[in-house]
């Protein structure tokens, strides 16, 4: 695969444009939720979404990545994975919801009134996650972009409808909007699979559900464990804050995190494209060398953008979110160096993961997770929410530096 090819450039441009749309809708979504719910409501919302993200990234067992990998590398018939996915969605959704209820109870935030919505959100989100593996295997970046844009737009539309027009004040309506959003997206993907790609369910496919499920899980577990460690690194501070500080402080912190992480979106989209293209790369070493050069250029372009962004954050957060969230701007500023550092990992790890080597990121970020927890427990009592931001920045920076060293050793220097 020539990384300078016109197809790659086209995918990158379209993905970048769609991602700008995602950034805008995510920003307005955050403003809407924060202004309606206030710091306390935003804190409760952040806690549940962080907990769900951590559980979901493990309990889907990396089936999306493993399916894409198996179809691309082993030439399995993609249709065979449709009944496999349906079986695993039922199984994994039950496990996910069970863990969510259990950990909510252990955290002292057990609220059945909106936990019930995850009974609907989880299987729908898992369906979207699993079935987009077909687009990933086909390098159909357009479908992946449509799914992300449709998900983001529909969620924002219904949030705006509930909170602005219907004047609702409960965070339950976020989960209702999310359920409706994933329902629309699921219908779109169903249409794409069965009416555009013209996949069909054959009787003989059902006889191989169990062996293919084990195959997908076996290949997907390394991806799942890696995603779990990454997500824990990015979300563990919210759970620790929930136990050490008032929930309103968690809400203020979450706004700062949201603003800092907006800078990740474009590199994350690039990572998705790279994963898809790297799956089919004939010369992995040549691909990695070209990717390394692109990575360096991206960082150089991103650096002045980060500086301008830092100045903008300082003034925009209190204006957009209100004076209640004024402290969030300092959280964002503290997190930005770590956010910049993690961009390297998001780009380069896509290449190693697509080549079936997600374990290197797993080992490095397991160390980072331990470091992050130790720092959080020591710095939060001293520096409040800013201690959590300092802990995350140090963890992200250290892990990214170590990962860059290993990537160069494995992918660049090995060729020489």
Helix/strand/coil (H, E, C) string of the chain? Answer: CCCCCHHHHHHHHHHHHHHHHHHHHHHHHHHHHHHHHHHHHHHHHHHHHHHHHHHHHHHCCCHHHHHHHHHHHHCCCHHHHHHHHHHHHHHHHHHHHHHHHHHHHHCCCCCHHHHCCHHHHHHHHHHHHHHCHHHHHCCCHHHHHHHHHHHHHHHHHHHHHHHHHCCCCCCHHHHHHHHHHHHHHHHHHHHHHHHHCCCCCCHHHHCCHHHHHHHHHHHHHHHHHHHHHHHHHHHHHHHHHHHHCCHHHHHHHHHHHHHHHHHHHHHHHHHHHHHHHHHCCCCHHHHHHHHHHHHHHHHHHHHHHHHHHHHHHHHHHHHHHCHHHCCHHHHHHHHHHHHHHHHHHHHHHHHHHHCCCCHHHHHHHHHHHHHHHHHHHHHHHHHCHHHHHHHHHHHHHHHHHHHHHHHHHHHHCCCC
Across the range 122-142, mean pLDDT stands at: 89
pLDDT in tens, 322-343: 888 999 999 999 999 998 888 8
pLDDT of residue 2 exceeding 70: no
Share of the chain above pLDDT 90, in %: 31
pLDDT in tens, 232-243: 888 899 989 988
The winner for highest mean pLDDT among 6-10, 261-265, 292-296, 305-309 is 305-309
Choose the weakest-confidence range: 24-38, 86-100, 177-191, 361-375: 24-38
Across the range 84-109, mean pLDDT stands at: 89
For the chain, give the mean pLDDT: 83
| pLDDT at residue 241, as a whole number | 92
Across the range 206-221, mean pLDDT stands at: 90
Across the range 300-323, mean pLDDT stands at: 84
pLDDT of residue 120 exceeding 90: yes
The winner for highest mean pLDDT among 93-107, 142-156, 386-400 is 386-400
């Amino acid at each position: 695969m020539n990384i300078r090819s016109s197809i790659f450039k086209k995918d990158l441009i379209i993905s970048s444009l769609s991602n700008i749309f995602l950034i805008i809708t995510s920003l307005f979504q955050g403003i809407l939720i924060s202004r309606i719910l206030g710091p306390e409501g935003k804190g409760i919302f952040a806690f549940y979404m962080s907990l769900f993200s951590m559980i979901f990234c493990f309990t889907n067992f990396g089936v999306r990545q493993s399916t894409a990998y198996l179809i691309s590398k082993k030439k399995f018939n993609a249709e065979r994975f449709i009944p496999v996915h349906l079986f695993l969605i039922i199984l994994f959704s039950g496990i996910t919801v069970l863990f969510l209820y259990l950990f909510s109870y252990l955290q002292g935030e057990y609220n059945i009134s909106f936990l019930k919505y995850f009974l609907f959100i989880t299987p729908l989100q898992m369906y979207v996650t699993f079935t987009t593996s077909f687009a990933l295997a086909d390098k159909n970046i357009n479908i992946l972009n449509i799914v992300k844009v449709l998900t983001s737009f529909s969620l924002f539309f219904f949030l705006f409808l509930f909170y602005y027009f219907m004047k609702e004040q409960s965070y339950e309506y976020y989960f209702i909007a999310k359920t409706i959003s994933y329902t629309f997206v699921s219908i779109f993907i169903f249409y794409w699979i069965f009416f555009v790609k013209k996949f069909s369910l054959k009787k003989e496919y059902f006889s191989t559900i169990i062996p293919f499920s084990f195959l997908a899980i076996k290949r997907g577990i390394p991806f799942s464990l890696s995603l779990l460690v990454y997500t824990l690194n990015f979300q563990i501070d919210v759970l620790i804050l929930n136990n050490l500080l008032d929930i309103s402080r968690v809400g203020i912190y979450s706004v700062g995190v949201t603003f800092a992480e907006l800078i990740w979106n474009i590199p994350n989209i690039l990572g998705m494209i790279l994963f898809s293209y790297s799956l089919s790369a004939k010369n992995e070493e040549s691909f990695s060398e070209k990717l390394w050069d692109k990575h360096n250029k991206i960082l150089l372009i991103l650096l002045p953008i980060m500086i301008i962004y830092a100045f903008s954050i300082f003034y925009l957060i209190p204006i957009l979110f209100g004076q209640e969230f004024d402290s969030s701007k300092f959280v964002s500023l503290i997190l930005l160096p770590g956010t910049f550092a993690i961009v390297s990992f998001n780009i380069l790890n896509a290449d190693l993961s697509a080549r079936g080597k997600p374990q290197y990121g797993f080992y490095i970020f397991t160390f980072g997770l331990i470091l992050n927890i130790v720092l959080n427990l020591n710095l939060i009592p001293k520096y409040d929410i800013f201690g959590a931001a300092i802990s995350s920045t140090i963890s992200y920076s250290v892990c990214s530096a170590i990962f860059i060293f290993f990537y160069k050793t494995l992918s660049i220097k090995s060729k020489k």
